[in-house]
Amino acid sequence: MADTTTASPGAACLEKMKSYVRTQKGTILAAEIVVSLIILICYAASYTGSYSAVAICEMIFSIVFFVIFMLEMDKQIQYINWMWTDLFRAGIGACLYIITSLICVIGGRGDGARIAGGVFGLIAGLLFAYDTYTIFLQIKSTRQHTAASTDDRV
């Protein structure tokens, strides 16, 4: 007979995902993934789907970091500084979303899907900027600054 007391690996992964989404970082990453998917749909539905590359890249990067942090692989792979890497990912994402969204909103005359993608892109830019700010605060709080000695005696 099959042992029904052990949980399947899929259920364990689902439980990890549920518990990680309840954290602040998990919520931010999940929101970044969802907003990037909405932007991708809007840009794909527009007359010119030329700005969808930003949404695709940022959604994939957010998914990768979500999985890495959810499975706590950042604690196992320590030769990469994950906080700084995540800071650069979020900062570049914020800049790219704000720039492309302003272009889409300003030049999207007659293309409602492109304007909607631009508006959601501005929201995503703010979300990525907030993520950058929280990561920066986390880096700042983990750095241990020791005061330099001002004593002339040796």
- Give percent of the chain with pLDDT exceeding 70: 88
Separation CA 100–CA 76 (nearest Å): 36
Q: Outline where DSSP puts E strands in 9-103.
A: none
Q: Which helix (H) or strand (E) holds 75?
A: helix 73-76
pLDDT: is 13 or 72 the higher one? 72
pLDDT at 17: 86
The secondary structure of the chain in percent helix, strand, coil, rounded to multiples of 5, reads 75, 0, 25
What is the residue-averaged pLDDT of the chain?
Answer: 87
pLDDT: is 5 or 22 the higher one? 22
Nearest one of 11, 35, 29, 46 to 121, comparing CA atoms:
35
111-142 confidence digits (pLDDT tens): 889 999 999 999 999 999 999 999 999 999 98
Separation CA 33–CA 57 (nearest Å): 11
Average pLDDT, stretch 2-8?
60
pLDDT at 1: 46
18-66 confidence digits (pLDDT tens): 888 999 999 999 999 999 999 999 999 988 878 899 999 999 999 999 9
Q: Is 123 helix (H, G, I), strand (E, B) or coil?
A: helix
Domain residue ranges of the chain, discontinuous segments joined by +: 22-138
Separation CA 154–CA 144 (nearest Å): 24
User: Residue holding tokens 């899907």?
Assistant: 113
pLDDT at 111: 87
State which amino acid sits at residue 149.
S
